[in-house]
Amino acid sequence: MDSKRLLSGLILVAFLLGNAGISFAGDIKPNKKRGQVYFRMVCTVCHMQQAEKTIPPSSRTMKQWRAYFKADKHDVSGTTRSAVSYYMSRDYRVAIKDSNKAAKKFLKLSDEQINADVREFVIKGAKDSDTPASCN
């Protein structure tokens, strides 16, 4: 096996993967792992602090999550900003970048990209999915 060629192929894949967010809206490829990191380090960290609980992907069904993201209302109690998309936006990432490693690392990615990533992770980890996910 030609390991050099294989390696350069891999580097190319890694390159494409790393830059997926800078591509144009429309050909966004969701990255589940990035969604997981974002969900864990931005969403869950705040839920632990402000709501003293976690809201794992496995707490809802795929259908419920889809409806949740479509409605784009963040929480019924109304203690936080009203749209869940806000917490995935660049504005929010800029606001918390000094205290949040994930927000800082993903600062440049588009709102659509982070949205797609988080959604991918949450829906693939829903209660009725094949791989229900906790918050860790």
Partner 1 sequence: MKAEAVKADRQAGISRRGFLGLCAAMGTGAALQLRSFKAIGKNNDKPGSWSRGEVIPSTCNMCVNRCGIQCHVVNGVLEKIDGDYHNPKTLGGTCAKGQAGIMTLYDPDRIKYPLIRAGARGEGKWRRASWEEAYEYVADNLDKIMDKYGPEGLLWSSSTDLTEIFFLKLGVFLGTPNFARHATLCLASRNVGYFGTMGGVPDSDLANAKYIIMFGANRLESFELPYNRDLISGIENGAKLVVVDPRMTVTAAKGTWVPIKPRTDMALTLALMHVLIKEDLYDKDFVDKLTVGFDALKEHVAQYSPEWAEKETDIPARTIVEMAREMAVAAPAVVVFPGRRSSWYTNDTQFRRTLPMLMALLGAFDVRGGNFVNAGKVKLGEFDWEMAPFDVAPCVDGFDEGPFPLAAHDDGGYVMRRDAIIDETGKYPVRGWMIYKQNPLAAVVDGNRTLKMMEKMDFICSIDVQPSQTAWMADIILPETTYLERLDPIWTTGGKVKFISIRQPVVKPQGEARTILDIIKGIAAAMDKRRTFDPPMSKVFDFTMEDYVDKQLAPLPIDRKTLARQGIWMPGQQKWKLGAYRRGEKDFRTPSGKIEFVSERFRRNGYDPMPVYEPPAEEAGRQRLVTGRYAWFTHSANQNNRWLNAIHPENDIWINPDVAREKGIKDGGYVMVRSRVGKVKIKAYVTPRIRPDTVFICHGFGTNSAGQTTLYGKGGADQVLMESKADVITNNQALHETWVDITKV
Residues making contact with partner 1 (CB under 8 A): 1, 3, 6-7, 10, 13-14, 17-18, 31, 33-34, 36-37, 41, 48, 58, 61, 101-102, 105, 127-128, 130-132, 136
For residue 11, the minimal CB distance to ligand HEC (Å) is 31
Contacts with ligand HEC, 28-47, as mask; x by CB under 6 A: --------------xx--xx
Q: What's the 3-state SS for the chain?
A: CCHHHHHHHHHHHHHHHHCHHHCCCCCCCCCHHHHHHHHHHHHHHHHHHHHCCCCCHHHCCHHHHHHHHHHCCCCCCCCCCCCHHHHHCHHHHHHHCCCCHHHHHCCCCCHHHHHHHHHHHHHHCCCCCCCCCCCC
Query: Could you tell which of partner 1, ligand HEC, none binds residue 102, using a CB distance below 5 to 8 A set by kind?
Result: partner 1
